[in-house]
Structure formats: structure tokens, C-alpha cells
Amino acid sequence: MAESGYPDELATWIEKRAAKKRRQDAAVVAFLAARGDVNAAMDSGYAVTTIYEHMHETGRVKCSYETFRKHVKQFIKPGLALRAPAQQKGESLAKKPKAPAPTGIASFNFNPVPNKEELL
């Protein structure tokens, strides 16, 4: 018959180990809790790197910068984190004129059967 003390010891160890493990979604949960502050700081013109450094240093987020940036892009507004500060504040930047379309061959169609007249 097995000793009854070991299963209890094992159960206690498993509980302690589970308490030490971080949830896989902990970074998302922490970011979503701070999303309003991140959005307000970005609207005020602060860079995402500055916001991340402050939140990481104060312990509000524990994820990497790349994960933080991914969450900004996913949960706040797509493309907002990658725009210039002037665009974030609603100011329009002067648009550059588009380059003219390249001239020359418009397309290429491959024909696997060679034309013997073109080869001579």
C-alpha cells in the first residue's frame, strides 16, 4: 500500500508550481487594462516607445516591447502606432506627388513553345 503522505505532498507541490506559472494571456490582460491610458498618451503625442518604457519600468506591463507594439496595433487602432506624431494629432502632412507609372513593357506573358522566327 502506498504512503498517503506523498500524494498530499505532490498536490501541494503542483499548487505551488501552478501559482508560479504566468498565464499565457497575462500580457494581453495587462495591456487591455492599460489600453485607455496608452490611447490617451498616444493622443497627447507621446511615442509608443516612451509609453512602453514607463509602463514597463513601473510594472504595469511585463511583456517585451515587440509584444506591446503588437497589442497597440491590434487593440487600439490598426496603423496608429506606425504613423508620425503629427498624423496622430490629426494634423495633415503635405502629400508627396505620386511617381509616374514606369514606361516600357506593361506585362510579360510566358509562352513555353518557342517562336522559331524570333530565335533567328
pTM for this one?
Answer: 0.49
Summarize pLDDT for 4-37 with one digit per residue, the tens. Answer: 789 888 888 888 887 776 667 888 888 999 999 9
**Contact (CB, 8 A) for 34 and 54:** no
Q: Please give the single-letter amino acid code of residue 87.
A: Q
How many CB atoms sit inside 10 A of residue 39's CB? 16
Q: How high is the pLDDT of residue 103?
A: 63
Evaluate whether 30 touches 60 at the Cβ level (below 8 Å): yes
pLDDT at 116: 84
